[in-house]
Structure 1
Amino acid sequence: MSARLRAALAVVGLGLASMAMAQGSTMDEIARYREMLADGNPAELLELKGESLWKTPRGPKNASLEQCDMGLGPGKLDGAYAQLPRYFADTRKVMDVESRLVHCMVSLQGFKYEDVTRQWFSRPGQESEIEALVTYIGGKSNGMKIDVPARHPEEARMAKMGEYIFYRRSGPQDFSCAICHGQDDKRIRLQELGNLTTRAGAGVAMSTWPSYRVSQGAVWTMQRRLIDCMRQARWPEPKYLSDSVIALQVYLQKTASGTVMQTPGIKR
């Protein structure tokens, strides 16, 4: 090996080492930033708003949501989020927190479906009532373990559908969820990409939603997160509350089962 080639390789090695150190340092700083924000998570304000929306009589029927059954009985929220999605006999559907919430707002409060879902995510200067309610409901599972065994036949079917969607390559870029989230130690730019096929990886991802996203200045729900992922993968964007999004949640929550909820979380 010539001296010139050895020198060139040494320079490349130093460059790679410097990049790795810089990347590690940046990730450490991001972790410290999240830790500082956790003491005053802006999502806590939205959580309080969600509590008010849950308890206040509203809509054409002038009713509160306190009789809404999120799977544990009317009005029982402690641990409910951690056990969703699940099958509901009254609708004969597997529902996640958002689809069940919309169902209650329509059936108990008399709102029209179109009106309830028109603003399902926040925009600058326009908060979403659904995001506030989901943040409140999610907070009631904080510290509890995710428990979505998908034992009911319909839940098992949705879990299989979600797994199929996770691995299916689609869109003009021939992309799948698994390309980014099917292996350990992958990242895009400075963002770590969790391996969602393992309990540890899926647990980190699922246990902290809904989350306050610093880059967006808003709380995002799991529906919004998954729909945005599909958009970025250049897939045909699914409709809000579609079976495909709920099926993905069943698959991911089943994989994450046993992980302790830490919500609302903080993301970049």
Structure 2
Amino acid sequence: MKNLLTITLSTALLASVTFAGEQFAMSDKDRALYAELLEANPADINVETGSGLVEENCGGDAGLAKFLGVSEDNLPKYIAGFPRYIKKLDMVAGLGQVMQAIMHDNGHKPFALKSKEMFDMIAYAKSLANDEAINIDVNANPQMKAAYALGKEVFETKRGGRGLACLSCHSQDVIGTVLRTQPLPELGHPGNAAAATWPAYRMTKSSLRTLQRRFQGCMQNALLAVIPLGSPEMVALEVYITDKAKGAKVAIPGLKR
């Protein structure tokens, strides 16, 4: 019965996937627009706006470095290791949660993790690590080990009305095939690693999105219960995906269809 269920789910997934070349993933018009946006990414404005917001609410790069207990010179490399365990918060945290804590300490009402302002701030903070290699250490402490294990569980567990998991669309068996006009990517691919290229401007949404927000979009499309931004499960999923990108160079803002 278990084998039959596995076969049924696999068949359902493959039935919705068109085994076509990548040329079908984007129209000529979209391809031309993509090339144009590579030269002038609209999210560059978001990064600039985020810089001002971080300065106003977190004390700029100096305030961010002070809270994290690192020098400004070492801040880019340190950011390339997020998500990470933050002793002050006693939790594995993403950049958004760190800046919420700094805003609170500075007497400001923290922006919601789903807000445009926070997306801009995360994009700016992550951009400080541009050209640095992702250096997350999932064995650094018990908290990171636990987060990695939870993230792997979230990634691989089938749930929802379609019985799908993140792995259903991102296993080696289906990577490169086309689903809903888009090639299913290898999330840790050195040239386009998810954790190294989000936050990114999404052409189909005409807006900047973070990696966790992209996870939510996938969950909605797969009819899965959406995991809240900043929850232990969502941060853990980001830890797991970021580990796949280890060694890839950070390039923010990214550009995605």
Structure 2 length-normalised TM: 0.81
Contact residue 190 and residue 248 of structure 2 kept, 8 A: no
- 1:20 CA drift (Å): 4.8
Shift of the 240–25 alpha-carbon distance from structure 1 to 2, 3 Å rule, reads: closer
CA contact 1:203–1:257 (8 Å) conserved in 2: no
What aligned pairs does 1:76-91 form with structure 2 within 5 A after superposition? 77-91=75-89
Q: Which residue of 2 aligns with 1:258?
A: 247
Which structure carries more relative contact order (alpha carbon 8 Å, separation 6+)? Answer: 2
Q: Secondary structure at the match of 2:217?
A: helix
1:106 corresponds in structure 2 to 104
- Structure-2 change in CA distance of 1:25 and 1:187 (3 Å): closer
Which amino acid in the other structure matches residue 223 of structure 2?
A: R
Question: Identity, % of aligned pairs?
Answer: 25
**Equivalent-residue separation in structure 2 for 1:36 and 1:144 (angstroms):** 25
What does 1:122-161 correspond to in 2, within 5 Å? 128-151=116-139, 152-161=141-150
Superimposed CA distance per residue, residues 94-140 of structure 1 (whole angstroms, 9 cap, x where no aligned partner)? 00111212121112x22345xx21x723xxxxxx2111111111211
Kept after mapping to 1: 8 A contact 2:25/2:178: no
1:38-77 → structure 2 map (5 Å cutoff): 38-56=38-56, 58=57, 64-65=59-60, 66-69=62-65, 71=68, 73=70, 77=75
Q: Is the 8 A contact 2:25 2:183 kept in 1?
A: no
Q: Which has the larger radius of gyration?
A: 1
Confirm or deny that 1:195 pairs with 2:183: no
Provide the aligned C-alpha RMSD in A: 2.5
> Structure 1 residues 182, 190: closer, same or farther in 2, change over 3 A?
same
Q: In structure 2, how many angstroms separate the alpha carbons of the residues matched to 1:182 and 1:20?
A: 17
- What are the within-5 Å matches in structure 2 for residues 228-267 of structure 1? 228-267=217-256
Partner amino acid, structure 2, of 1:40? A
Count residues with an aligned counterpart. 232
Amino acid at match of 1:64: G
Distance 1:41 1:175 in 2: 33
Query: 33-42 vs 210-219, which deviates more?
Result: 33-42
Map Cα deviations across residues 182-238 of structure 1 (whole Å, 9 max, x no partner).
Answer: 123222032011133xx4279522221100111111100112111222222222222
Give 2:37's aligned amino acid: L
Question: Take 1:202 and 1:37, find their aligned partners in 2: how far apart are those partners?
Answer: 18
Q: What code does the residue aligned with 1:140 have?
A: L
Provide the secondary structure at the position in 2 that maps to 1:149.
coil
Under a length normalisation based on structure 1, what TM-score does the superposition of the two structures give? 0.78
Letter matched to residue 92 of structure 1: D
Separation of aligned partners in 2, 1:100 and 1:44: 22
CA contact (8 A) 2:122 2:199 kept: yes
Distance 1:104 1:46 in 2: 20
AA partner of residue 87 (structure 1): Y
Q: Which amino acid in 1 is paired with 2:207?
A: A
Partner AA of 2:40 in structure 1: G
Q: Distance in 2 between matches of 1:257 and 1:72?
A: 23
CA distance in structure 2 between the aligned counterparts of 1:133 and 1:204, rounded to whole angstroms: 21
Residue 10 of structure 2: aligned partner:
none
1:38 is matched by which residue type in structure 2?
L
> Structure 1: which 5+ residue stretches go unaligned?
1-18, 122-127
Question: Structure 1 residues 112 and 247, CA, compared in 2 at 3 Å: closer, same or farther?
Answer: same
From 180, 183, 186, give the equivalent of 2:169: 180
Q: Distance in 1 between matches of 2:205 and 2:252?
A: 18
Shift of the 99–73 alpha-carbon distance from structure 1 to 2, 3 Å rule, reads same
1:200 partner SS: coil
| 2: CA distance, partners of 1:104 / 1:129 | 15
Task: State whether residues 202 and 255 of structure 1, in contact with CA within 8 Å, keep that contact through their aligned partners in structure 2.
Answer: no
